[in-house]
Amino acid sequence: MNVSELYTEIGQLLGDPQHDRWTTAILLSRINLAQTKVLVYTNSVKTKETLTAVAATDTVQLDTDVIDVIRVDIQNSSGEWKKLNGYLRDQLDFEIPTWQQLTDGEPKAYWWDGTNQQINLVPAPNSTNAITNGLRVWEIQEPADMVSTTDIPFGSNTAIVPYHMAIVYWVVAQCWMDDGTPEALQKARFHRSETMSRPGNFEREIMQINSKFDAPEDIPARILWSPQGGRLSSLGFRSKGNPLGQ
């Protein structure tokens, strides 16, 4: 569906086909917000960004529209591509308190700084491992706002066309919430319940998308525990408990 067709579907469900109550300007703003929400919940439409690390510098700047980082691969000096392990900054501080003092070399891991839109390589690459276009970053990016009535959601990505009704249901629920009456809020919950245990129409669309697309998350929360016997981490650095660094 394009924006004009989204207007029609939304107007029908709201009983406002002429958009007298909810103008197309209001609907367009909510349609753009809805498509971003869908990507946040599903990680369905991914973008690959090719970058170059700088020797002795751990930070690599990402596109300003990145919502989440799904995967980071790095090319080593032998030309081989390897996946970097993703970590939270707090997890690195806990598992390897001295990670910021590691000698420059071949990066084994990264952490994502969403505030500054950077990935931080651990350790920082040396000159041998700072290879031109040697980083491939798969990202979830905020989709471009639609403006024209002929614009198609998600950058016209064909694979997600069957799920455009997710946008409709999200916007309809948001509009019913404007009233705030018990009846209107009940209608809003029918279209968007805010819980997967008792899904509304929007959540059912999200579940269908997640069943069709892979929805990886590269830096999941981990239980932090204190290793024993010199086992420092699973980052690939050598330790007494992990002498081969595997």
The pLDDT profile of the chain, 246 residues, written as one tens digit per residue, is 999 999 999 999 999 999 999 999 999 999 999 999 999 999 999 999 999 999 999 999 999 999 999 999 999 989 999 999 999 999 999 988 999 999 999 999 999 999 999 999 999 999 999 999 999 999 999 999 999 999 999 999 999 999 999 999 999 999 999 999 999 999 999 999 999 999 999 999 999 999 988 767 677 655 555 555 555 555 555 554 554 454
Select from 161, 142, 170 the least CA-distant residue to 31.
170
Residue 119's alpha-carbon distances to 138, 141, 168, 215, in angstroms, are: 12, 15, 34, 20
Q: What is the largest CA-CA distance in the chain?
A: 71
Q: How far is residue 158's CA from residue 166's CA, in Å, rounded to a whole number?
A: 15
Say which DSSP state 53 is in: -
Taking each helix axis from N to C terminus, what angle separates 165-177 and 182-191, rounded to the nearest 10 degrees? 170
For the chain, percent of residues with pLDDT exceeding 90: 84
In CATH terms, is domain 47-141 a member of 2.60.40? yes
- Chain segment 29-41, per-residue pLDDT in tens: 999 999 999 999 9
pTM: 0.82
- Are the C-beta atoms of 86 and 68 separated by less than 8 Å? no
Length of the chain: 246
Per DSSP bridges, beta strands 85-87 and 81-83 are unpaired
CA 108 and chain centroid, separation: 22
CATH 2.60.40-classified regions of the chain: 47-141
Q: Are 38 and 215 in contact (CB under 8 A)?
A: no
Q: How many helices (H) and strands (E) does the chain have?
A: 6, 8
The two three-digit tokens of residue 62, written as one number: 């990402």
Q: Which amino acid is at 169?
A: Y
